[in-house]
Chains A and B, each alone.
Chain A
Amino acid sequence: MMFNNRGNRSTREGFGEGLLEAGRMNPNVFALGADITVSTGVNLFAGAFPENFISLGIAEQNCAGVAAGMALMGKIPVFTTYAVFSAIRATDQVRISICYNNLHVMIGGAHAGISVGPDGATHQALEDIAVMRCLPNMTVISPCDATQAAILTRKAILEEKGPVYLRFGREAVADFTPPELETQIGKAQMLQPGNHLTLIATGHMVWEALKAAEILSLKGINARVINMHTIKPIDADAILEAAKETRLIISIEEHQVTGGLGSAIAEVLVGNCPVRMERIGIPDCFGESGKPEELLDKYGLTADKIARKAESIFRAKQISS
């Protein structure tokens, strides 16, 4: 593999750093808190810029509306809480107050994915990408590690125009992307070349996909690995190129298999280059309590399980053709 884990860090740490950096660069950045500022990483910003931190209590619908009001007055509000609340509980407020007005509000979705672990189903956001992705004007971002979370958070706040949703996770995971890696919102990253099949992953699953590709290479299968850190607008060129060159696409996400990354990829393929595709994710069910690694294993989201599934699909496809 071309990447090394420099040490485990959470994407929420990266988000907190990116927000802090954006605050240093632009005094118009405001952070809105809905009580859980330490566990979302917003506390870094709140400590550095107390005047630009607005505490709003456990009231997510109001938070989304206040963010809209501040954006209408020329500020750049960043509204962050657990993804189940920011993206799902306050969906109508995000839809009308923020998206219909096409306001530059950044919505942070913390504790995304099944790897939230013991808190269980209520706190594991597995539908947030689907919900945010279908809102007009919205950009949807899902960084793969802490370094990338910091970069994309800063860029989303300082360089984007309309509403942006950025999801991130709770657990410390491999921090492997080099800070100098070119990272543009809307542009997928091919982290590993390959011509037998393509693994397209997002968030924590990118590292698992890279490890899965390593396992596959030992079996003579060259897997391409793409980091789809922006799910909307999706990089259709990268998907179509991979489809034409490898003829097998496997999507991997800590999200329902309906409506998320896999669906977004399928939408691109179906009209342009329909090839064999498999979606790995949560199979239309609620999550549950357990250790993150136990849950990832149960739902087939570890490198080992991904590699096994990819190999069997690849072999079956070889036989049938």
Chain B
Amino acid sequence: MIKISDPRKLLNISYQTRALIIKMLSAAGSGHTGGSLGLADIFTCLYFNELNHNPENPVWPDRDRVILSIGHVAPVFYATLSQAGYFDKSELFTLRKLGSRLQGHPGMDWGLPGIETSSGSLGQGLSIATGMAIVAKKSLPDIRVFSIHGDGELQEGQIWEAAMAAVHYNLDNITAIVDLNGVQIDGPTSAVMQLNPLSEKWRAFGWNVINCDGHDIPGILAAFRKARLCSGKPSVILAETIMGKGVKTIENDHRWHGRAPSPAEAIEFLCQIDEIYRIELAKIKTVNDV
């Protein structure tokens, strides 16, 4: 797939994805809005710049693998896959409906192209990525495995079992991405079960730790590049994001972790997304001018 490097084009895709997330969640009537909006920039950079993949041949053996460990942000995953051409965007509106390939949490058996594994029970994705990367090291040295996690998810012990194993086998073909939005269902992560010092934890396990702003597109691309260039150990990108990014009125509000907008709210949110897109686009122009 052709890789897009222009940050303004990537930002445009990212905000289109946000609009799709709002529309599909509103049609579904339930689902996870906050985390999905917060991950739109990272997903866009991953699928439109970093990843080696082919939406026309989703099971191409040499493709990079993406493991969505946090299955509840399925809307951003599905919206990005449809934007990349894996399936028609109209199918997004079947989300969470009976018989849909777009299950509430990704289910591989349902046959949606682009899904590498089922997920939804937190903490399992890094182990799957580790298994894939062990095999890739032996027989497919060019492919890379990306796993996507939430910060609250790091409270699961299995994550740290896998973190140990990935270092034990020198799996530098793994890039884990942590969506550091500081919010989980019950409230701020710092109050529910604090994770700090997080960079030090990963470093102590032997990982290459890369910090970035999860909404700064050039910064995200740079973080992926750093991970790609690191050899001998796996990389983790700790990406600071804002839950609900793009809809000012719900940003960082933990009540929007697992809520979908009503049709009226959706209209309002789409206006906000449009407005914030213009502001963010102007910022990128300024950066480029300097």
A55 to B87, CA, bound (A): 39
Prevailing SS type, chain A contact patch: helix
Comparing B154-162, B189-197, B203-211, the segment that makes contact with chain A is B154-162
The answer, yes or no, to whether B49 is at the interface (CB within 8 Å) is: no
- Contact of A93 with B107 at beta-carbon distance under 8 Å, contacts A62-B162, A69-B134 already known: no
- Contact of A65 with B164 at beta-carbon distance under 8 Å, contacts A73-B136, A96-B121, A96-B124 already known: no
The answer, yes or no, to whether A102 is at the interface (CB within 8 Å) is: yes
The answer, yes or no, to whether B165 is at the interface (CB within 8 Å) is: yes
The answer to whether A57 touches B165, judged by C-beta atoms less than 8 angstroms apart, is yes
With a cutoff of 8 Å between Cβ atoms, the chain A residues found around residue B128 in the complex are 65-66, 68-69, 72, 97
With a cutoff of 8 Å between Cβ atoms, the chain A residues found around residue B123 in the complex are 61
The answer, yes or no, to whether B129 is at the interface (CB within 8 Å) is: yes
Q: Which of A62, A68, A73 contacts B165 (CB 8 A)?
A: A62
B55-74 to A contact mask, C-beta < 8 Å, 1/0: 00000000001000000000
Question: Number of residue pairs across A and B with beta carbons under 8 Å?
Answer: 104
The answer, yes or no, to whether A18 is at the interface (CB within 8 Å) is: no
The answer, yes or no, to whether B132 is at the interface (CB within 8 Å) is: yes
A97 to B128, CA, bound (A): 8
The answer, yes or no, to whether A119 is at the interface (CB within 8 Å) is: no
Comparing B112-120, B248-256, B266-274, the segment that makes contact with chain A is B112-120
A61 to B128, CA, bound (A): 11
The answer to whether A69 touches B119, judged by C-beta atoms less than 8 angstroms apart, is no
With a cutoff of 8 Å between Cβ atoms, the chain A residues found around residue B107 in the complex are 100
With a cutoff of 8 Å between Cβ atoms, the chain B residues found around residue A178 in the complex are none
- Contact of A70 with B134 at beta-carbon distance under 8 Å, contacts A100-B107, A100-B108 already known: yes
- Contact of A74 with B135 at beta-carbon distance under 8 Å, contacts A61-B127, A66-B130, A93-B127 already known: yes
With a cutoff of 8 Å between Cβ atoms, the chain A residues found around residue B165 in the complex are 56-57, 59, 62, 66
With a cutoff of 8 Å between Cβ atoms, the chain B residues found around residue A187 in the complex are none
With a cutoff of 8 Å between Cβ atoms, the chain A residues found around residue B116 in the complex are 72
Interface positions, chain A 31-77, Cβ under 8 Å from B, are 51, 54, 56-57, 59, 61-75, 77
A64 to B130, CA, bound (A): 11
With a cutoff of 8 Å between Cβ atoms, the chain B residues found around residue A63 in the complex are 127
A101 to B127, CA, bound (A): 14
The answer to whether A92 touches B117, judged by C-beta atoms less than 8 angstroms apart, is no
**Chain B's nearest CB lies how many Å from the CB of A282?**
30
The answer to whether B164 touches A70, judged by C-beta atoms less than 8 angstroms apart, is no
A contacts with B, residue count (CB < 8 A): 29
A74 to B140, CA, bound (A): 12
Q: Which of B127, B136, B164 contacts A97 (CB 8 A)?
A: B127
A89-128 to B contact mask, C-beta < 8 Å, 1/0: 0001101110011100000000000000000000000000
- Contact of A73 with B124 at beta-carbon distance under 8 Å, contacts A59-B165, A62-B158 already known: no
Q: Which of A59, A77, A92, A100 contacts B118 (CB 8 A)?
A: A100
A51 to B135, CA, bound (A): 11
Q: Which of B121, B127, B157 contacts A66 (CB 8 A)?
A: B127
With a cutoff of 8 Å between Cβ atoms, the chain A residues found around residue B127 in the complex are 61-66, 68-69, 93, 97
- Contact of A69 with B164 at beta-carbon distance under 8 Å, contacts A96-B124, A100-B108, A100-B118 already known: no
- Contact of A97 with B132 at beta-carbon distance under 8 Å, contacts A59-B165, A61-B158 already known: no
With a cutoff of 8 Å between Cβ atoms, the chain B residues found around residue A96 in the complex are 118-121, 124
A74 to B116, CA, bound (A): 13
A67 to B134, CA, bound (A): 10
The answer to whether A65 touches B136, judged by C-beta atoms less than 8 angstroms apart, is no
With a cutoff of 8 Å between Cβ atoms, the chain B residues found around residue A73 in the complex are 131-132, 135-136, 140
A to B CB contacts below 8 Å, 21 in the list: A54-B134, A59-B164, A61-B123, A62-B127, A62-B130, A62-B161, A62-B165, A63-B127, A65-B128, A65-B131, A69-B117, A69-B133, A69-B135, A72-B132, A74-B135, A92-B121, A93-B127, A95-B121, A96-B121, A101-B117, A101-B118
The 4 closest A-B pairs by CB, nearest first: A69-B131, A65-B127, A62-B161, A66-B131
